[in-house]
Chain A
Amino acid sequence: MSIEIRSAPHIKAPKSVETIMRHVVWSLMPVCAFFVFQYGLSALASLMVVTVSCLATERLIVRTGTQSGDISDYSAAITGLLLALSLPPGFPLWMGAVAGIVAIALGKALFGGIGFNVFNPALVGRAFVQAAFPQAIATYTPSFLPGRFHEMVPSSMTLPLMQPAAVADWLKAKHLDALAGATPLAKWKFEGILANADELLTSLSGHMAVGPSPALILVCGIYLAARRFMDWRIPAAILGSAGLTAWLLFALNDVRYPNPFFMLFSGGLILGAVYMATDMATSPVTPKGMWVYGALIGLLTVVIRYYSGLPEGVMYAILLGNAATPLIEKITQPTPFGKTAFALLGRQKKGASYSLHPGYISREDAGAVTPRKRFLSNKPKRDERKKPNE
């Protein structure tokens, strides 16, 4: 028996990137299954095409040998699934493929591959198609349409580079209101109609286009957090801050602003908070930073939803949060043991002259200044320093 001797930390059960990513994919499976049950063939095709385009792009880029990672680490699969879940189910498949390619190539590979991306790749892909095809991405179809397992939404099968077929006519032929496809947020913003709790939570009533079921996502998120594959602080901070902001505004003016429950459970806030904002490469690692990051995203989401021309703001809020992550990490660095938070601001203690000794100042640190003589009263003698080697 060989005993490996090594210094701390001794990790008993290593969690590799691949393990974590695999569990995230598993936890997404129920959400995807319900999404397909809700929207039928179109949703299934969309999930498959977007995921395959992500995987193919990843494989192609890894093959060039410029970066590590592979499709077997499941990270590209997560990007694909999340991207598909955040798009309308009847989104033209060729646009979905474009979104997948942009997500991996622009959102991930250009920054250096897995672990180096600054922005959540799925959201980069979604932001690109949002900017490129603003009409298609706002065209939702109601959930639980009759015959959804026999035929696809006509816009799904659009030929590449061509305009999607008009979904409104197709819905009219099914004796549905042309506006039935509006999302709850768009309905509230442009028509002033509030969806009720049942519709939002499970989307079982089928009158509205609510994306993947928030209740199911929350359950899956709780599983992930319980298994420690995800930090619970980020979703808690996002939902807390969005809920609090929405509640404050609702208390101020309950005619103009919807109730906080509607704010929390409509649109992509739950999906974004649980699965997208918690991407490990793009969120802060410090516990305090996670709270700041989540609070920022929640606040921005509510602000964009209420005061901008767009009905939904989760995507931009998370991307802005991603951009702020390095700064948040910098200002929330934990203080080392034995120091107070203000140690760096105040005067150095007298006995701590070792940190100013030129021998201890890193030669690589360009900003390192050789201190003046008076700080070096207790400097060790030259021969004293050499002693251990001889």
Chain B
Amino acid sequence: MSTATNLSSTDRWDEFMEGVWRQNPLFVMVLGLCPALAVTVSAVNALSMGLATTFVLTCSCLLVSLLRKMIPKEVRIATYIVIIATFVTVVDYVIQAVSLALYDALGAFIQLIVVNCIILGRAEAHASKNPPLPAMLNALGMSAGFTLGLFALGAVREILGAGTLFGISLFGPHFQPWVVMVLPPGGFFVLGLWLLVFAAIARRKQDKLAEAAGHA
């Protein structure tokens, strides 16, 4: 993790990809499971949740990073929560104003972004120790990874649970919906499946690296 202010472009890319792949919040760190299981019934819901989280995470990490020298160590968690809650309130009102249907679909989970451990975790572990640019890049990467994970869950659940993707019918009118996929157990099944896929990819990569090291 580079703390220098003048980052090279590969460093920036690394900082960003950290959250998308190596430290993916959903599939590697397995954080933020509450929204991941509850609102990923459809791809649209999953993406909106991901975007809302992106906004909150990026803005709060930026602010925390800017204020990191002023925040007294003893009350830092409370301060972070106040910052995060501010942005969550903004997102809450924006979604309510833009689309009431979406607001109803996401329910309490927009307000619950405030207790999402990814956001507090990033603020505490990264933003509070790094200058604004790397902090924001890292937060963006994390949010991209989280959004990607939510979308992966939401897409599978929507395709099997309703036969549609973004509301567009994929299999015609005679599709048999898998009721279990839109129920809570479906969320667990699909999450488990994706964890399996990601673990398999990671293991294969590791094996390849080990093999390459063996040959060298």
Query: Which chain A residues lie closer than 8 Å to B171 at the CB level?
Result: 161-162
The answer to whether A131 touches B176, judged by C-beta atoms less than 8 angstroms apart, is no
Q: Quick check: B180 and A163 within 8 Å, CB to CB?
A: no
Contact A133:B183 (CB < 8 A) given known A161-B171, A162-B171: no
A12 to B210, CA, bound (A): 49
A1 CB, nearest partner CB in chain B, Å: 50
Q: Tell me if A164 and B180 are in contact (CB < 8 A).
A: no
Instruction: Check if B174 is an interface residue, CB within 8 A of chain A.
Output: yes
Task: With CB as the reference atom, state the residue of chain B lying closest to A94.
Answer: B176
Is residue A30 within 8 Å, beta carbon to beta carbon, of the partner chain?
A: no
Cα A95 to Cα B180 with chains together (Å): 13
> A162, B176: Cβ atoms under 8 Å?
yes
Instruction: Tell me, yes or no, whether B179 is within 8 Å of chain A by CB.
Output: yes
Q: How far is the CA of A220 from the CA of B89 in the complex (A)?
A: 66
B179 neighbours in A (Cβ, 8 Å): 131-134
Q: Flag B175-202 by CB within 8 Å of A: 1 or 0 each.
A: 1101111010100010000000000000
Task: Decide: A131 and B175 in contact? CB cutoff 8 A.
Answer: no
A136 vs B171: C-alpha distance when bound (angstroms): 19
The CA-CA distance from A163 to B175 in the complex, in Å, is 6
B:147-184 near A, CB below 8 Å:
163, 171, 174-176, 178-181, 183
A162 surroundings in chain B (CB, below 8 A): 171, 174-176
Decide: A163 and B174 in contact? CB cutoff 8 A.
yes
* CB proximity to A under 8 Å, residues B87-144: none
Chain B hits for A164, CB < 8 A: 176
| Whole-angstrom distance between the Cβ of B36 and the nearest chain A Cβ | 20
Does A128 touch B at the CB level, under 8 Å? Answer: yes
Instruction: Categorize the interface residue count of chain A.
Output: 10 to 19
Q: Which A residues lie within 8 Å of B181 (CB)?
A: 132
Partner of A131 from B163, B174, B180 at Cβ < 8 Å: B180
Tell me, rounded to whole Å, the shortest Cβ–Cβ distance linking A306 to chain B: 25
Contacts of B178 in A (CB 8 A): 132-133
Which residue of B176, B180, B183 contacts A161 across the interface (Cβ within 8 Å)? B176
Contacts of B174 in A (CB 8 A): 162-163
CB distance from B88 to the nearest CB of A (A): 34
Which chain A residues lie closer than 8 Å to B180 at the CB level? 128, 131-132
With the chains together, A106 CA to B190 CA distance in Å?
12
Q: Is the CB of A161 within 8 A of B175?
A: yes
Minimum Cβ distance to chain B for residue A243 (Å): 33
| Contact digits for A127-142, partner B, Cβ 8 Å, 1 yes 0 no | 0100111101000000
A136 contact set on B, CB distance < 8 A: 176
Binary interface encoding of chain A residues 286-300 relative to chain B, with 1 for a CB under 8 A from any of its CBs, else 0: 000000000000000
In the bound complex, CA of A162 to CA of B170 (Å): 12
Say how far B162's CB is from chain A's closest CB, in angstroms: 12
Q: Which B-chain residue is minimally distant from A136 (CB atoms)?
A: B176
Nearest chain A CB to B196 CB, angstrom units: 9
The minimal Cβ–Cβ distance linking B75 to chain A, given in whole angstroms, is 38
Q: How far is the CB of A256 from chain B (nearest CB, A)?
A: 31
Q: How far is the CB of B155 from chain A (nearest CB, A)?
A: 16
| A41, B180: Cα distance in complex, Å | 29
- Smallest CB separation, A134 vs chain B (Å): 6
The residue of chain B having its C-beta at the shortest distance from the C-beta of A95 within the complex is B176
Task: Name the interface residues of A142-183: CB closer than 8 Å to any CB of B.
Answer: 158, 161-164
A60 and B183 alpha carbons, distance in the complex (Å): 29
A133 to B185, CA, bound (A): 14
Residues on the B chain within 8 Å of A95, using CB:
176
B159 nearest in chain A by CB position: A161
How far in angstroms is the closest Cβ of chain A from B197?
13
Contact residue among A106, A128, A163 (Cβ-Cβ distance under 8 Å from B176): A163
Q: Closest CB of chain A to B192's CB: distance in Å?
A: 8
B127 CB, nearest partner CB in chain A, Å: 38
Q: Mark A69-109 against chain B: 1 for CB-CB distance below 8 A, else 0.
A: 00000000000000000000000100100000000001000
Q: What separation, in Å, do the CA atoms of A161 and B176 have in the docked complex?
A: 6
Return chain B residues, CB-CB under 8 Å to A92. Answer: 176
Q: Report A153 CB to chain B, min CB distance, Å.
A: 16
The smallest C-beta distance from A335 to any residue of chain B, in angstroms, reads: 40
Q: Point out residues on B near A: beta carbons under 8 Å.
A: 163, 171, 174-176, 178-181, 183, 185, 189
9 nearest A-B pairs in the assembled complex, by CB-CB distance? A131-B180, A132-B180, A132-B178, A163-B176, A162-B174, A163-B174, A161-B171, A132-B179, A162-B176
**Given A92-B176, A106-B189, A163-B174, 18 other A-B residues pairs in contact with their CB atoms under 8 A:** A95-B176, A131-B179, A131-B180, A131-B183, A132-B178, A132-B180, A132-B181, A133-B176, A133-B179, A134-B179, A161-B163, A161-B175, A161-B176, A162-B171, A162-B174, A162-B175, A163-B175, A164-B176
Contact sample, A vs B, 15 pairs, CB 8 Å cutoff: A92-B176, A95-B176, A128-B180, A131-B179, A131-B180, A131-B185, A132-B180, A158-B176, A161-B163, A161-B175, A161-B176, A162-B171, A162-B174, A162-B176, A164-B176
